[in-house]
Amino acid sequence: MSHQGAAAAISDTVTMIDRCVRLMRRNVDTLFVSILLPLLMMALFVYVFGGAIDTGTEYINYVVPGILLLTTGYGASNTAMAVADDMTTGMIDRLRSLPIRSFAVLTGHVTASIARNAVSTAIVIAASLAMGFRPNAGPGDWLAAIGLMLLYVLALSWLAAGVGVIAKSVESASTLSFFMLFLPYLSSAFVPPETMPSWLQPVSEHQPITPVIETVRGFLIGAPPGNDGWIALAWCTGLLLFSFTLATSLYRRRTSR
């Protein structure tokens, strides 16, 4: 890529980010759900189920990291719908017939997803503090937790972008969101895996979300994450590389018939 080419690629990407953030702000339904949903989930788990679940700590301290991962996973997967919307309306032909870098379009959507999740995460954290969440994390721990979540959201957003590229419709792209809303229940997000039936325990312990949750939880409530930290980092980095490659090559395939 020449120097001028790089400048053009950056400018295209900035323009597409600008577009996606604006569209996202105006897509009131999705924005509303992605903020309201985590708050409802938290209230539900803390006030309704919390009393019945014994995790050996204050339940709210146990569950907040789980809620954070559930909502960011869900928020990231909504990227699939935004991408599918572009791919299935005339807009993609307009974008394709312009002389722009192919990854600029997807990068715009992924960046908007990061922004959306940053907002919903901040709101969830603020609400959880108000509801009695008492983390004992130092600035370094917070930074590490946020860094890992950022990597997780980035990886999932690219995966969702790839799903959006091949989805036949916005509705079928939304299946991913459903899946991501469901997957955390089979992890250590809400209940310790030891309490699950024995056939489910290995699934719960070894699926990628569990080490991520354990690590974030470790950083926030002051238990050293140990091995889980490296496993989580490996999962997220691997997923990011895989998803980015997949999404961009699917996009190029689909747009160069």
Binder of other proteins out of 6, 10, 98, 200 (CB under 8 A): 98
Tell me: does residue 90 bind other proteins (CB under 8 A). yes
Q: Which is nearer to other proteins, 95 or 161 (CB)?
A: 95
Size of the site for other proteins (CB under 8 A): 25
For residue 75, count CB atoms less than 10 angstroms from its CB and return exposed for 0-12, middle for 13-18, buried for 19 or more.
Answer: buried
Tell me: does residue 253 bind other proteins (CB under 8 A). no
Tell me: does residue 186 bind other proteins (CB under 8 A). no
- Give the nearest distance from C-beta 95 to other proteins in angstroms: 8
Of residues 1 through 20, those in contact with other proteins by CB under 8 A are 8, 11-12, 15-16, 18-19
Tell me: does residue 31 bind other proteins (CB under 8 A). no
* 46: CB partners within 8 A, 6+ apart: 59, 60, 63, 131, 132
Q: What does the alpha-carbon distance between residue 43 and residue 75 come to, in Å, rounded to a whole number?
A: 18
- Long-range contacts of range 138-146, CB-CB < 8 Å, 24 or more positions apart? 141/219, 141/220, 141/222, 142/219, 142/220, 144/219, 145/65, 145/215, 145/216, 145/219, 145/220
Q: What does the alpha-carbon distance between residue 92 and residue 104 come to, in Å, rounded to a whole number?
A: 12
Tell me: does residue 96 bind other proteins (CB under 8 A). yes
Tell me: does residue 97 bind other proteins (CB under 8 A). yes
For residue 171, count CB atoms less than 10 angstroms from its CB and return exposed for 0-12, middle for 13-18, buried for 19 or more.
Answer: exposed
- Give the nearest distance from C-beta 38 to other proteins in angstroms: 24
- Give the nearest distance from C-beta 1 to other proteins in angstroms: 13
- Give the nearest distance from C-beta 142 to other proteins in angstroms: 35
Tell me: does residue 27 bind other proteins (CB under 8 A). yes
What 3-state class would DSSP assign to 149?
helix
Token couple for 169: 């419709």
Give me the residues that bind other proteins (CB under 8 A), please: 8, 11-12, 15-16, 18-19, 22-23, 26-27, 89-100, 256-257
